[in-house]
Amino acid sequence: MGGRALGDQTEDRGTDQDGRHVLVAGGAGFIGSHLVDALLARGARVVALDSFLTGRRDNLAHLAREPRFELVEADVTGPLPVLPRFDRIFNLACAASPPHYQADPMHTMMTSVVGTHHLLERARADGARFLQASTSEVYGDPEVHPQTESYWGNVNPTGPRACYDEGKRSAETLVFDFERVHRLDVRVARIFNTYGPRMRADDGRVVSNVVCQALAGEPITVYGNGEQTRSFCYAADLVDGLMRLMDRETSPGGPVNLGNPREMTVAELVDLVTRMTGTRSAVVRRPLPVDDPQRRRPDITRARDLLGWAPQVPLEQGLEATIAWFAKEIRPPEPAAVP
């Protein structure tokens, strides 16, 4: 998504040429790297801090010669490296895909709790505005549909997803305690399923799995009966929402859902990708993972009212860009012609 990317609305609403200094923790990840690009495009100076647990240097390789950009390797659960003062801190550091965040559940929990605490202390010391990337997983397997921010959620605190769900819930608690106790200027985005270029082929989430399997002609894995629903937001739309939330002059007072309200079943997503790729891959059923939410769809009334934000990129268009990206990513380059 270099330059003016699909769904990028940043240029339409004014640019930020004041050279603000911004920290993006988790900046080498899928969403983080797109956010770094968008911030640089409007004139900010950006430090991406990342442990490369799931993020990749490749996602930021195009910025190697960018003087306003720096990449720092560090794990947010440990002491933060010495860095200059920041005006704004985005915390996106945390593996987001179930197989990755369950691989070391204690570290996932500590990333959200200890890591967020470290970054909040840093924001407090700097007088920086702080944005936490939270998640629709705080709603668990929701009994309220669509999910509004006022819903407290239905999370299993002891299951295999809890390290992520409860970690993110605890992070929200810390963020709002820093607002109450220290008057820190905070924002919390509850991000719903997001997809797009730069997801890893081995990410394990449904969009990357289905697209890669379809392109490779391998069986497409549907967990359970495929009737569970999700609502998929294109990365550029999500990044635009994150920046609007950070830019808002006054704190919105509580979390804000960011996601695409178009809801579909996993089976419908598989049908769409099958048609778009023309694959002959068959569908294979796999067991539904423990505590897999049955339904998920954001109510984005608050984001519309407070930020004037709504997703712009239709699923078909976003999938087209994602399929094109994975086609390059997973296919080996053509052998060079013999002269």
Please tell me whether residue 193 binds ligand UDP under the rule CB under 6 A. Answer: yes
**Residues in the chain, overall count:** 339
Contacts of ligand NAD in 124-153 (CB under 6 A): 133, 135
Q: How far is CA 70 from CA 63, 210, 231, 236, in A?
A: 9, 34, 34, 22
Instruction: Give the up-direction half-sphere exposure of residue 242: CA atoms within 13 A in the CB hemisphere.
Output: 32
22-61 mask for ligand UDP (x: CB under 6 A)? Answer: ----------------------------------------
Q: Which residue, 184 or 206, has its beta carbon nearer to ligand NAD?
A: 206
Rounded distance, CA 133 to CA 90, Å?
7
Cα angle: 281, vertex 286, 287; to 5 degrees:
165
The b-or-e profile of 178-202 (16+ CB within 10 A means b, else e) is bbeeeebbbbbbbbbbbbbbbbbee
Is residue 94 within 8 Å of residue 26, measured between CB atoms? Answer: yes
Of 136, 167, 141, nearest to 255 by C-alpha is 136
- Total interface residues for ligand UDP by CB under 6 A: 13
Contacts of ligand UDP in 265-304 (CB under 6 A): 266, 289, 292
Please tell me whether residue 205 binds ligand UDP under the rule CB under 6 A. Answer: yes
DSSP one-letter code for 58? G
Closest contact distance (angstroms) between CB of 106 and ligand NAD is 11
77-116 mask for ligand NAD (x: CB under 6 A)? Answer: x--------------xxxxx--------------x---x-
Look at residue 209 and give the partner it binds from ligand NAD, ligand UDP, none, a contact being a CB closer than 5 to 8 Å depending on partner kind.
ligand UDP
**Pairing mode, strands 263-265 and 229-231:** antiparallel
Closest contact distance (angstroms) between CB of 289 and ligand UDP is 5
Q: Which residue, 187 or 281, has its beta carbon nearer to ligand NAD?
A: 187
- Among the listed ranges 53-61, 291-299, 304-312, 329-337, the one in contact with ligand NAD (CB under 6 A) is 53-61
Is residue 114 within 8 Å of residue 148, measured between CB atoms? Answer: no
- Residue 134: strand pairing partners: 190
Look at residue 115 and give the partner it binds from ligand NAD, ligand UDP, none, a contact being a CB closer than 5 to 8 Å depending on partner kind.
ligand NAD
Rounded distance, CA 11 to CA 216, Å?
37
- Among the listed ranges 71-79, 174-182, 223-231, 247-255, the one in contact with ligand UDP (CB under 6 A) is 223-231
Contacts of ligand NAD in 15-44 (CB under 6 A): 26, 28-32
Please tell me whether residue 54 binds ligand NAD under the rule CB under 6 A. Answer: yes
233-272 mask for ligand NAD (x: CB under 6 A)? Answer: ----------------------------------------
Closest contact distance (angstroms) between CB of 13 and ligand UDP is 30
Contacts of ligand NAD in 169-228 (CB under 6 A): 191, 193-194
Q: Which residue, 8 or 203, has its beta carbon nearer to ligand NAD?
A: 203
Q: Which residue, 51 or 147, has its beta carbon nearer to ligand NAD?
A: 51
Strand order in the sheet with 186-191: 69-73, 45-50, 21-25, 88-91, 129-135, 186-191, 256-258
Is residue 88 within 8 Å of residue 23, measured between CB atoms? Answer: yes
Place of tokens 């505590």: 291
Sign of the dihedral through C-alpha 15, 20, 24, 28:
positive
Chosen residue from 221, 251, 265, 274 binding ligand UDP by CB under 6 A? 221
Radius of gyration of the chain (CA): 19
User: Which residues form the catalytic set?
Assistant: 164
Residues in contact with ligand UDP by CB under 6 A are: 98, 193, 205-206, 209, 221-223, 228, 230, 266, 289, 292
